[in-house]
Structure formats: structure tokens, C-alpha cells
Amino acid sequence: MTAPVRVRFAPSPTGRLHIGGARTAIYNWAFARANHGTFILRIDDTDPTRSTEENTQIILRAMRWLGLDWDEGPEVGGPCGPYAQTERADLYREAAERLLAEGKAYPCFCTSEQLEADRKAAKERKDPFQGYQRRCRNIPVDEARARMEAGEPYVLRIKVPEDRGDVVIDDAVHGQVTFDAKELDDFVIVRSDGTPTYNFATVVDDAAMGITHVIRGDDHLSNTPRQVMVYEALGAPTPTFAHISMILGTDGKKLSKRHGATSVEEYRDAGYLSDAFVNYLSLLGWSLDGETTIIPRDVLASQFSLERISKNPATFDPKKLDWMNAEYLNAMSDAEFADKVLAPELEEAGLVDNADHLPMAEMLLLAQIVKPRVKKLGEVAGVCGMIFKTADTLEYDEKAVKKGLAKEGMASVLDAARATLDALAADDWNAAAIDAALEPLPEELDLKKRVVFQAVRAAVCGNLVSPPLGETMELIGKADCLARIDRAKTMAL
Ligand code: GLU
């Protein structure tokens, strides 16, 4: 029986959670869920100059917004804690001491001048091996101990076994990747200030946490042979690696700030739904069956597999994300849209104090007309804000005035519309009745339908692009519709 899956997402809090990191997190989470495994969140904060607590908090918030719940990690704890590398210094020290005692690591006293001179000499003699020249590798143990104890500065280096040979990784995405033995360096595992290097701390943690699969960006592929050396020195089993491809912008270049928003919270603030965002990112390098694009979270969490990760770089296309978001919005029922989208957006935009006070029937009608017209949450207020204004506070946009009102004959159109609408009983004020009442007007006035409805729309909505007129007017209410028409008449010719 194979060991239960344990995976980790290990962001460095040197910045926000970006699209690439979010996708790595999603893949780890989905892989854990699909295999009934454990998803661990670990904060790789060993770079004290660039890691901040604020960034850690931003990352945790982003993870929560994405809905990627972790089974072990900050705030939830777990049997392998602590889950921040700065709190695990003792473990790295113990591991380093053990390797030293076992002769699998050794102190190196070379000064940076010495190292530089060796590097230069290796280059000049065109030595195929340009790494550390192993000067301190054969210092007798007693002598090395004495120098360490005397306070001479040193780093700890791993001792790559003489006969190690090439390192071959069976990567779940890239297949077999071979790293030439000649390139294996006795690299530094503990710096002179006692702090562990990334390749060492990561492996000590991954081994201690029983990580079975390391799923991460392929910018880390080149670190992998070094990490394999550490696993072997520690006598720990090497996990399965899955290095996922880069994400490119639509111009084929590596995704960066130039392509617009890159951090998760920018997308949250721009009005994307977490489900849609997760769905979209999950497809950047993975597919369910090569064609399905709408993949609900539970399907992702049950069907995700490493086999279907692609080697090729993925393209982040904001237009496709918009499309996906609109699909998710449209798939909501009116009640769900009212509750999850309308209410918070109307409150956020200051259009209503408390959306709970709006009658349910109105919210459902509003949901019905707004839902198909927005791609992002932030667009809600723009589409229906005018409904919540009054005849006094409504703003008329220039185009609406020019095209819909300030034209010869429009004053009489408004008069006719007003009279027709006024004749409707207040009880009868609903979309169907309003539409039916306005319907014969163009013929009666001998004008084009478009001209008449444009004038009424401009008068009542203050713009020319609002949702269907009957429903919009039903929501505005009879008295205010008439008052709006009165106000618009002052602008009509
Ligand atoms: N802290 C590393 C990073 O953010 C983690 C790399 C890894 O997954 O090993 O890139």
C-alpha cells in the first residue's frame, strides 16, 4: 500500500500571493483532496530581510478567499509544527549536526576571496566543473573541530558522495530528468551566521513533515538535484516531484506586473468570484479531459491528477477569466445572485444602507435583469445604480441627453409617455403592464420605435444602456418614474 498523500504549499512571505503561487496552491490542495490526503501550508520565511508578517497575513487571507483550506499549518496547527521556518531553527541545527557527525557534511573555512580565486582559476583552465573546489572536504575531523571551536568562521557544506553519479529524477510532469554528476557541488547547507539555506531547510522540513509529493513551479527544477542530495544524506525517502510550467501573458512573455494585476487580492477586489478564479487558474496547465472548461470546485477536488498536468507553458488570458466569471455569475439562481452579489455590492456602493430591508420580490427581479449584464461584481452598481436614485439625484449622462432628449419632438414623446404611464393604476405597476402601455406609442406618434424608447429610457434611467425598460421602471416605482420624466422634460426639445 502506498503512503497516504501529504503535500505542502510553501510560500515565502516576501510579497503577496501571485497568480503563479495561487495555481501551485490550488494544485497541491486539489491533489490532496482528490487522494484523501493532507494539505499542509508552510510559511517559508527564512529570508528575514524580505519576509514580513504583513505578507504572511495577506497570503493567509488570499488562501481563505480562494477557499483552499489547509489541514495543517498556521492557525490550525498540526502534528509537524511549527509551520513557519523561522520557528524551526532547532530542527535545522539538529539535522546539520547529525550530518556533520556522520561525515555527510563538513565545515568549510574558505574565505570569499579564496572562493573567488578558485572560481577564476577553474574558468581559466576551462575546468568543466566550476563549482566549489572541495578545498576543505578533506580537512581531518579533529582539526576541523578545533578550528570551529576556536571561533574561525565557517559554513557547512554537504559532502556529495564520490561515487554518486548522475541524479535522475522521475518528475511527474517532465518525465525523466537527468542532472550530470559533474554539476553536483558540495553546496552550502548552513551559512556562516548559522541560518540554513533554502535547499537544506526545505528538505529538512519536507522530510520531517512526511511530504510525499512536491508540486511546485518549474523554476525550482534546477534546485531538485541538490535537494535529492540532502534527502539521501538525511536517509529520508525522496518524494515524487511534479514541476509545473510557467504561466505566460498573452504576449508569450513571463507573466509580470506589465500584464496588469498579478496578486490574488487584486482579483478579489476587481470583482471576481473565488470559484471562477480557482476554476480558471486550475486550467492553466491542467485539464480534466482536454475540453471541459467549467469545472466546479468539488469536481476539481475529486478529479485532479498529476497525469493531466501539461509540460507546456500556460497562457493567462484576462478575457477568458472574464468569460469564466460571467459564466459563474449566470449559473447562479436569482436568489443566490441577490444574496451573494447584489446585496453586498449595493451596500458597498452606498446605494442602500441595508439590502436586507429591500423586499425579496424586488431583489429577485433586480437579480434577473442585472445578472446577464455583468462580468464582474464591481459592475453591478454601474448597471443598476440609477434605480436607487431619485428624480432629484439621478445623473443624466451627456450621451443620453444628446441622443435621447435634446432632439426636436422629444418633449412631446415624453408627454405622451407620461400620460400613458400615469393612466396605469398603481397596483398595475409591473413590467408587463408598463411594456404593454408603452408598446403602441411609436405608432401613435408616428415615430420609430427606437426613437421613442430611447427618449423614455434616457428620461427614466439617465443613460442609454440600462437593463430592460419595463422591469427597470417597475423597480423604480410609478411616482419616481413620472417625476424623472418631468425633470427630463426640462432637457428635451
Ligand atoms: N518558498 C519557496 C518558494 O516560494 C518554496 C519552493 C518549494 O516549493 O520548494 O518558491
Ranges of beta strands (E only) in 174-258 are 175-179, 188-190, 213-217, 240-244, 247-248
Q: Ligand 1: which of 24, 198, 224, 241 to mutate, judged by most atoms within 8 Å of the beta carbon? A: 198
**Mind listing the pLDDT tens digit for each residue in 7-58?**
999 999 999 999 999 999 999 999 999 999 999 999 999 887 899 999 999 9
The two beta strands, 175-179 and 167-171, are: antiparallel
- Please tell me if the CB atom of residue 85 comes closer than 6 angstroms to any atom of ligand 1: no
Q: How many CB atoms lie within 10 A of CB 280?
A: 26
Measured from the Cα of 223, ligand 1's closest atom is 9
Contact 422, 443 (CB under 8 A): no
Of the candidates 436, 431, 442, the one whose C-alpha atom is nearest the C-alpha of residue 469 is: 431
Q: Which ranges of 423-477 does DSSP label H, i.e. alpha helix?
A: 431-438, 441-445, 449-461, 469-476
Separation of alpha carbons 458 and 406, rounded Å = 10
Burial state string for 15-46 with b = 16 or more CB within 10 A and e = fewer than 16: bbbbbbbbbbbbbbbbbbbbbebbbbbbbbbb
Measured from the Cα of 216, ligand 1's closest atom is 8
Q: How many CB atoms lie within 10 A of CB 350?
A: 10
Q: What are phi and psi of 251, to 5 degrees?
A: -90, 5
- Please tell me if the CB atom of residue 220 comes closer than 6 angstroms to any atom of ligand 1: yes
Contact 200, 189 (CB under 8 A): yes
Query: Three-class SS string for 276-341?
Result: HHHHHHHCCCECCCCCCCCCCHHHHHHHCCHHHECCCCEECCHHHHHHHHHHHHHHCCHHHHHHHH
Contact 355, 321 (CB under 8 A): no
DSSP state of 176: E
Q: How many CB atoms lie within 10 A of CB 430?
A: 15
Q: What is the CA radius of gyration of the chain?
A: 32
Host H or E run for residue 254 = none
Separation of alpha carbons 11 and 57, rounded Å = 12
Is residue 257 part of the annotated active site? The answer reads yes
pLDDT reported for residue 257: 83
Question: Which cell numbers hold the place of 487?
Answer: 425633470
Ligand 1 center from residue 188 Cα (angstroms): 18
The tens-digit pLDDT sequence of the chain (493 residues) is: 578 999 999 999 999 999 999 999 999 999 999 999 999 999 999 887 899 999 999 999 999 999 999 999 999 999 999 999 999 999 999 999 999 999 999 999 999 999 999 999 999 999 888 889 999 999 999 999 999 999 999 999 999 999 999 999 999 999 999 999 888 999 999 999 999 999 999 999 999 999 999 999 999 999 999 999 999 999 999 999 999 999 999 999 998 888 888 999 999 999 999 999 999 999 999 999 999 999 999 999 999 999 999 999 999 999 999 999 999 999 999 999 999 999 999 999 999 999 999 999 999 999 999 999 999 999 999 999 999 999 999 999 999 999 999 999 999 999 999 999 999 998 999 999 999 999 999 999 999 999 999 999 999 999 999 899 999 999 999 999 999 999 999 999 9
Of the candidates 353, 384, 386, 348, the one whose C-alpha atom is nearest the C-alpha of residue 367 is: 384
- Please tell me if the CB atom of residue 11 comes closer than 6 angstroms to any atom of ligand 1: yes
Bond from prior residue into 153 cis (ω within 30 degrees of 0): no
Q: How many CB atoms lie within 10 A of CB 173?
A: 20
- Please tell me if the CB atom of residue 10 comes closer than 6 angstroms to any atom of ligand 1: yes
- Please tell me if the CB atom of residue 389 comes closer than 6 angstroms to any atom of ligand 1: no
In this structure, which long-range contacts are made by residues 465-469, counting pairs with CB atoms below 8 Å and at least 24 apart in sequence?
Answer: 466/383, 466/384, 466/386, 467/369, 467/370, 467/373, 467/383, 467/384, 468/369, 468/431, 469/434, 469/435, 469/438
**Strand partners of residue 168:** 178
Host H or E run for residue 241 = strand 240-244
Measured from the Cα of 21, ligand 1's closest atom is 4
The structure's pTM equals 0.92
Q: In residues, how long is the chain?
A: 493
Separation of alpha carbons 359 and 339, rounded Å = 12
SS3 178: strand
Taking the alpha carbons of 275, 279, 280, 285 in that order, is the dihedral positive or negative?
Answer: positive
pLDDT reported for residue 47: 84
Measured from the Cα of 219, ligand 1's closest atom is 10
Where do we find the cell 500571493? 17
Where do we find the cell 478564479? 277
Q: Choose the catalytic residue: 120, 253, 257, 311.
A: 257
N-to-C CA span, the chain: 83
- Please tell me if the CB atom of residue 44 comes closer than 6 angstroms to any atom of ligand 1: yes
pLDDT reported for residue 1: 58
